[in-house]
Amino acid sequence: MADELLKVESIEKSFGKQKVLDGVSFILNKGEVKVIVGPSGTGKSTLLRCINLLNPPDKGKIYLQNKEITSLKHTLVPAVRQKIGMVFQHFALFNHLTAIDNVALGLLKVRKMNKTDAYKKAIDELNRVGLADHKDKYPAQLSGGQKQRVGIARALAMDPLLILFDEPTSALDPELIGEVLAVMQALAKDGMTMICVTHEMGFAKSVANEVIFMEKGKIIEQGLPEELFSNAKNPRTREFLSKISQLYGETGHK
Amino acid sequence: MRFIEKIIPYIPLLTKGLGITLELTILSAFFGFIGAIFLVIGMLYGNRFFKILSTGFVTLIRGTPMMVQLFLIYFGLPGIDIRLSPLTASIIAFIINSSAYQAEYLKGGFLAISKEQLEASYSIGLNKWKTIQYIIFPQALRFAIPALSNEIVYLIQYTSVAYTIGLPELFYISKNFASKTYMNIEIYVFIGIVYLILIYIVTRATEIIQKKFYIPGFDLSHLK
Amino acid sequence: MEIFEHNLLFLFKNMPMLLSGALTAILLTFTSIIIGLVVGIMVTFFRIYGSKFTKKLMFAYEWLLKGTPPLILIFIFYFGLGNYLNLGEFFAAALALGLRSSAYQAQIYRGAVLSISTEQTEAGLSLGLSRFRTFYLVILPQAIRLSLPGFTNEFTIVLKDTPLAYGVGLVEILKAGRDILAQQLSAAIVSGKVTASLNPFIVYLTCALIYFVLFEIFYYSLNALSKKFQIPGFIFDK
């Protein structure tokens, strides 16, 4: 049996009267890459924010390594978040810190490593995303693609069990998307467990183990990427995927 | 040149007055800042009770003139059997007043920080207090530097109000000089210049501090 | 309790004095703000469109008036000019607070005018409007809207500065409160009752309350005005 890492069990989430998530369930195995696609406003980002408890679900349960995390005392929540990395749409680098300080912060203040070790690890992670040369630059001095790679390094530094990617390339200029996808592809190859909300179909085809199509807070269809892209059962899925490939092309497909 | 003749014997007194003005300004700015940190945390992150308490306090203080607060504390409190010296009353009044204004400036700085910054901080496992300490506060403070510097300029100017309760600060001494010599315009222009010099020093110092803590991407010139 | 009732009764009897003080404070605020508005607009104009020398002069004007404590300005206009020209306490205070406000208002208006992009001017000119008409029809309506929040703030600051005129003897709210206390004290001495039973805490608290009510009234009505003229999508708070 596959090694189950994360189980999401019929979670629901509303903001005011609007139900954003309406009974979403899935299982994520260790080393698996899941890509979530769907029209905007269908709760994909909210789903990610439920998983790392930034917006805890109203109903349903989430298990990490077979332990329920949805009913934890709030003092134990940071420890869970530490194990779940997140990469943000608008990078969310800490504006007052240099690239290396962004990566080292969690190591110093959460994992309480000493300075020497923390910065050694931070530089390793920056190397991994190819940005060691830019370690002393502030976010405002980096390009969008570079910012996002620092964001990935920051998540990696915490040695997370899995990383959530919230549309990591959608705020980037087209010519900068490639460098970020390349880093993500390399991570997947190294066996990192990932959930990616993205419209990059090329990326989905080349690295995803499963693609989930969501609409209006529900999972409409899920399956192997080649199955879903070539003959989706649900007409809504087909329509959406054909629109997306027209709009975004297939960048990142190598 | 009669003015110079008359002012020379007054210089020790004026220097003492200047000392009190500076003392009052520095104490109010410093303790006002500490008070402001508590107030802003209460306003933004406190539970219902602290939110109402701190917001109410800031609204009331910012909604009434400084001078009235000073009168209430110095002339009013004896009505409920609390008697304070002019210096103590002034220090208390200015700290209270300044903490409310500084809290409002800091609040502006806190609110200028995007929600994603908080999410990113939580996502690497920092808790609420560490997030405030390492992510929000260093950024909020940078946003608030120009306003905080303005607050010091205001304090230097408005400490002169304390003459009304008999605190012998710079303005009190000058008024005293004017009533003895009738050289009103001379003395007021003279200490006006002294105040301008003080304020010039503060503004220059702020510019230096801003440069020292300058970070690309934190261009503060567009903020007041 | 009896003392409390006595205080309230006494205050009630003297309310006309406090309210006339409030009226003086309101008049002083309006007069100062209008002086500040007229002078402030002129300063703005010369600082943006003036010659190099004029620009420097306006900069110095703003810096001097913002840097000098308002109390000193009031005293200079009252005593200083008093030797040559007697303004009286009201106009001395109005001129002092008004000119100080003109420096702050100039800063607000300049910020507003400069934040309107040059493309707006170019678009106006490209329609064939004259430079003046472009300013009047395109820039000004936007600049006024952008200035309103700053103006509201400035208005309340001037209101809160009015008690400074106490120093030159203007009977505004605080002075009225003090006069009431003094009257009661002298009445007590005349009648032979030594203890003054009017509580200064209650009197000054009432003064503070009057200021607070005025502050809130002006603050909310001016904000309502900003909202009324708001254009969808046009951002005001920066």
pLDDT tens per residue, range C78-137:
987 756 777 889 999 999 999 999 999 999 999 998 888 777 888 888 887 887 788 888
pLDDT at B221 over 60: no
Q: A73 — contact with chain B (CB < 8 Å)?
A: no
Instruction: Give domain status of residue B155, yes or no.
Output: yes
Smallest CA–CA separation between C47 and chain B, in Å?
A: 18
- How far is it between the farthest Cα atoms of chain A? 56
Q: What is the pLDDT of residue B222?
A: 42
* Residue B99, number of CB atoms within 10 A of its CB: 24
Mean pLDDT of chain C: 87
Smallest CA–CA separation between C2 and chain B, in Å?
A: 15
CA distance C36 to C106: 8
Question: What percent of chain B shows pLDDT beyond 90?
Answer: 67
Q: How far is CA A35 from CA A49, A200, A213, in A?
A: 15, 9, 9
Spell out the domains of chain A, with CATH numbers in brackets.
4-248 (3.40.50.300)
Q: C-alpha angle C112/C118/C124, rounded to 5°?
A: 100
The token duo for A58 is 């109203």
Q: A138 — contact with chain B (CB < 8 Å)?
A: yes
User: What is the pLDDT averaged over residues B84-107?
Assistant: 95
B41-54 per-position pLDDT tens digit: 999 988 899 999 99
Instruction: Give domain status of residue B224, yes or no.
Output: no
Smallest CA–CA separation between C157 and chain B, in Å?
A: 9
Quickly state the pLDDT bin for C233 (edges 50, 70, 90): low
Least CB-CB distance to B188: which of C64, C75, C162?
C75
Structural domain tally of chain B? 1
**Beta strand A59-64 pairing with A33-37:** unpaired
The whole-angstrom distance between residue B133's C-alpha and the CA centroid of its chain comes to 23
Q: What is the pLDDT of residue B219?
A: 60
Chains that touch B (3 or more CB pairs under 8 A): A, C
What ranges do the domains of chain C cover?
A: 2-228
The whole-angstrom distance between residue C151's C-alpha and the CA centroid of its chain comes to 10
Coil/strand/helix, residue A233: coil
Which residue, chain included where needed, has tokens 């230097």? B156
pLDDT at C182 over 90: no
A14-37 per-position pLDDT tens digit: 998 899 999 999 999 999 999 999
A75-111 per-position pLDDT tens digit: 899 999 999 999 999 999 998 899 999 999 999 999 9
The token duo for C144 is 């006024």
CA distance B125 to A111: 9
CATH number for the domain spanning B53: value is 1.10.3720.10
Candidates B110, B115, B123: best to mutate against A (most CBs of A within 10 A) is B123
Cβ–Cβ of B215/A138 closer than 8 Å? yes
Instruction: Give domain status of residue B218, yes or no.
Output: no
- Chain C residues with at least one Cβ partner in B under 8 Å: 64, 67-72, 75-76, 79-83, 159-164, 166-167, 173-174, 177-178, 199-205, 207-208, 211-212, 215-216, 219, 238
Note the residue count of chain C: 238
Mean pLDDT of chain A: 91
Quickly state the pLDDT bin for A254 (edges 50, 70, 90): very low
Fold adopted by C2-228 = MetI-like fold (1.10.3720)
pTM confidence score:
0.83
Q: How many alpha carbons lie under 13 Å from residue A5 in its C-beta half-sphere?
A: 18
Instruction: Give domain status of residue B222, yes or no.
Output: no
> In this structure, are residues C106 and C40 in contact, taking their beta carbons and an 8 Å threshold?
yes
Instruction: Give domain status of residue B60, yes or no.
Output: yes
- How far is it between the farthest Cα atoms of chain C? 83
- Rounded to 10 deg, the angle between the B11-45 and B137-158 helix axes is 140
Residues of chain B found within 8 Å of residue A157, distances taken between Cβ atoms: 124
> In this structure, are residues B135 and A93 in contact, taking their beta carbons and an 8 Å threshold?
no
Mean pLDDT of chain B: 90
> In this structure, are residues B62 and B100 in contact, taking their beta carbons and an 8 Å threshold?
yes
Q: C-alpha angle C217/C222/C228, rounded to 5°?
A: 130
Q: What is the pLDDT of residue B224?
A: 33
Q: How many alpha carbons lie under 13 Å from residue B206 in its C-beta half-sphere?
A: 21
> In this structure, are residues A207 and A175 in contact, taking their beta carbons and an 8 Å threshold?
no
Chains that touch C (3 or more CB pairs under 8 A): B
User: What is the pLDDT averaged over residues B111-132?
Assistant: 90
Nearest to C24 by CA among C171, C155, C154: C171
Candidates B60, B156, B157: best to mutate against C (most CBs of C within 10 A) is B157
CA distance C227 to C229: 5
CA distance B112 to B100: 19
Q: Does C233 or B57 have the greater pLDDT score?
A: B57
Q: How far apart are the first and last CA of chain C?
A: 51
Q: What is the pLDDT of residue C195?
A: 56
Q: What is the pLDDT of residue C158?
A: 97
- How far is it between the farthest Cα atoms of chain B? 72
Smallest CA–CA separation between C217 and chain B, in Å?
A: 11
Smallest CA–CA separation between B112 and chain C, in Å?
A: 11
Among A residues 143-172, those touching chain B with beta carbons less than 8 Å apart: 151, 154-155, 157-158
* Interface confidence: ipTM more than 0.90: no
Q: What is the pLDDT of residue B217?
A: 72
User: What is the pLDDT averaged over residues C1-20?
Assistant: 77
Q: How far is CA C118 from CA A13, C45, C125, C127, C217, in A?
A: 47, 16, 11, 14, 37
Task: Show the domain range for B135.
Answer: 2-212
> In this structure, are residues B107 and B44 in contact, taking their beta carbons and an 8 Å threshold?
yes
pLDDT at A253 over 60: no
